[in-house]
Amino acid sequence: MNLPNKLTMLRAILVPVFMACLLYIPNTIACALISAGVFAITALTDMLDGKIARKYGLVTNFGKFMDPLADKFMVFAALLTLTVKSGGILQQVLIWASAIVFLRELGVTSIRLVCANSEVGVVAASWFGKCKTVTQIGAILILILEPAWSIAFNTHSIASYVAVGAMLIMTIGSGIDYLKTYWSVLTESK
């Protein structure tokens, strides 16, 4: 259990803390900043664990497998919590967006499991997958902060909708990329 793997596990442990902050703290700018801060720290562990693992040669199969799962826990929990907390049209948009994200993530995880049991072995996150994760994190931060900002300054913004759209484009695109890359492994007959 090296430092990168500990950071990955910390990310998984911080997920319920973030959920509690978002669900149980009233929707004010200060409270949105607290929720966004906890989520940002959670997301920061994702960047740090990978950089440390690569820089110091601490890449492990556990890390290759658990790092993307911890990312999924973080994103799933955030989208689920934001969907429950939002209302109106945004809630409807988040229901569909969350379903697409969940299905993509389950599909890619399934591809990873098939590859792990083949000669390909454990599949590390691709560049496209990492960009997808950054886009998801950015969209979630906007979704956390924008409602409080709108209430405080009596404004309406479409930033949440644009962020969700960008998140979906990257999510679907990276899912297709994984499918194309590992299609031959998925269609092998034994």
How far apart are the C-alpha atoms of 100 and 96, rounded to whole Å? 6
CATH number of the structural domain spanning residue 112: 1.20.120.1760
Identify the pLDDT of residue 153: 64
**What are the residue ranges in the chain where pLDDT is below 70?**
27, 151-156, 189-190
In the numeric block, which tokens belong to residue 4? 């990168």
How far apart are the C-alpha atoms of 59 and 80, rounded to whole Å? 31
Identify the pLDDT of residue 126: 85
Identify the pLDDT of residue 80: 96
pLDDT tens per residue, range 98-134: 999 999 999 998 998 899 888 888 787 788 988 999 9
Residue 172 host element (H or E): helix 159-186
Indicate the number of domains in the chain.
1
Residue 93 lies in domain? 3-186
Identify the pLDDT of residue 176: 96
The answer to whether 62 and 48 have CB atoms below 8 angstroms apart is no
Identify the pLDDT of residue 152: 63
Residues whose CB falls within 8 Å of the CB of residue 138, separated by 6 or more in sequence, listed in order: 163, 166, 167
Identify the pLDDT of residue 150: 74
Identify the pLDDT of residue 60: 87
